[in-house]
Structure 1
Amino acid sequence: MVRTKDPAVRQLLVERAARMLRSRQPITLRSLVAGTGVSTMAVYTYFGGMDGLWMAVRQEGFTRLAVVLEEVPASDDPVRDLVALGAAYVANALANPDLYRVMFDDTIALEDAAAADETLNHLVDGVERAQRAGRFRDDVVAQELATQCWVIGHGLSSLVATGPLPRGALEHGAHMLTALLVGAGDEPGLCERSVTRGWGLAGPTVSGTAGAAG
């Protein structure tokens, strides 16, 4: 009789591997399963070996991010919605710092190589929607502006989630995004209001005006 795989065991190993990597613990089959009640054979059963495990860890990071971005609700303000995607990115990084660190380790292959592009496409769609609404100039290249938004979110997230800066430093993201989007053609006052509403969705540690979000 073939034994059914338990998704909880797979998830346990993925998250434990991410934590161990982040804390720079030596990772072997035995150290990975130590204290979990899971045998070393489980790594082969669920992942085919350690290489497969690391692929799954990296993939899990992008899978969670995709879910978070898909759950960002649309409003009648496309710039607010674009910034809300950035806020969701930051919030996800802070909620999953172990997985976040592994997501951008390109020495590890991805099970689905298109996963990173698919998450960026959420931002590209957001830029195009704002462009159609007349908030950005027609000559703005959506892919480029989306990438610049990603860079701001990624840089701040990396410095806070896995680096030296306190969470309060994330508040600078609103100022940087406002400058970037005004440069893309948005009206300064309107842009500042939209950014404040969208960025505040990442939580009070990001923006002191989070209560204005909605």
Structure 2
Amino acid sequence: MSRTKDPGVRAFLIDRAAQMLRARQPISLRSLVAGTGVSTMAVYTYFGGMDGLWKAMRQEGFIRLAARLSRVTMSEDPVQDLTSLGAAYVTNALDEPDLYRVMFDANFDLEDPQAADDTLHSLVHAVQRGKAIGRFRSNVDPLTLATQSWAIGHGLVSLVATGPLPREALAYGIPMLTALFVGAGDDPDSCPQSVERGWGRLLPEPATSRRRQVHDPQDTP
């Protein structure tokens, strides 16, 4: 009789491999399971080998990202929602820094490429809603604008999670996204409020810090 696979073991091996990568520890079949009580055979049972493990790690990163994006509550303001989805992307990367590094390793194929495309499509849908109510120009390509907003979030979180910038630097997302959306046709007066609501709702500390720096009377000579 075949043994039932335990999804907990599968998730454990994925998380352990990601943590080892972050710590720059060499990963092999034996080092992965050393001291865990899990046998090397489990890697073959759940992934078919180490290459299958890398594919599963990439896939898991996008699965968790999709779950995070799905928890973003949509409003009547598509610009705010587009920004909120970007903020959710950033917070997911900060919460899952190990898997985040693996998600974009193109050396290994995804088990389900459509899952990655679906995460971007949620941003595309927000842009389409924005076009429908006149927030973006009619000639704006939804995929292009969604990709550009994704690139801003990806660049910022990469510099914070894996690079030299402090977490407070994420507040730069507000003026960067505002400039992008105004350039796509949004109203320069209402756009900053939409972006601040979307970005600040999921990243309250950076957004609040930025507003305090701009408006605090004590900063005035």
How far the C-alpha of 1:209 sits from its partner, in A, is 6.7
Deviation sequence 1:87-144 (CA, Å, 0-9, x none): 0000000000000000001011110122222111111001001111111111111111
Distance 1:127 1:165, change over 3 A: same
**Distance in 2 (alpha carbons) for counterparts of 1:134 and 1:209:** 31
Q: Distance in 2 between matches of 1:205 and 1:93?
A: 16
Question: Does the CA-based 8 Å contact 1:90-1:202 persist in structure 2?
Answer: no
RMSD: 1.4
Q: Does 2:207 match 1:207?
A: yes
Q: 1:200 to 1:149 in 2, by over 3 A?
A: same
Contact 1:200 1:210 in 2 (8 A): no
Whether the 8 Å contact between 1:201 and 1:210 is mirrored in structure 2 is: no
- 1:15 alignment partner, SS class: helix
TM-score by length of 2: 0.92
1:146 counterpart residue number? 146
1:186-211 deviations in Å (ceiling 9; x for gaps): 11121000000000122234311799
Structure ID, larger Rg: 2
Q: Which runs of 5+ in 2 are unaligned?
A: 212-221
Counterpart for residue 44 of structure 1: 44
* 1:22 alignment partner in structure 2: 22
Number of aligned residues: 211
Deviation beyond 4 Å, 4+ runs, structure 1: none
1:187 aligned residue: 187
Residue 160 of structure 1 corresponds to 160
- Is this contact kept in 2: 1:120–1:147, CA < 8 A? yes
**Mind listing any 5+ residue stretches in structure 1 that lack a counterpart?**
none
Matched, 1:126 2:123: no
Whether 1:69 and 2:69 are equivalent positions in the alignment is: yes
User: Kindly tell me: are residues 210 and 137 of structure 1, through their superposed partners in 2, closer, same or farther at Cα, counting changes over 3 Å?
Assistant: same
**TM-score, structure 1 as length reference:** 0.95
SS in 2 for 1:189: coil
Provide the residue aligned with 1:95 in structure 2: 95
Distance change >3 Å, CA 107–CA 177, structure 1 → 2: same
- Pair 1:71–1:182, CA change in 2 (3 A): same
Q: Kindly provide the amino acid, as one letter, of the partner of residue 42 in structure 2.
A: A
Q: Is the 8 A contact 1:135 1:186 kept in 2?
A: yes
Q: Taking every aligned residue pair, what percent have the same amino acid on both sides?
A: 66
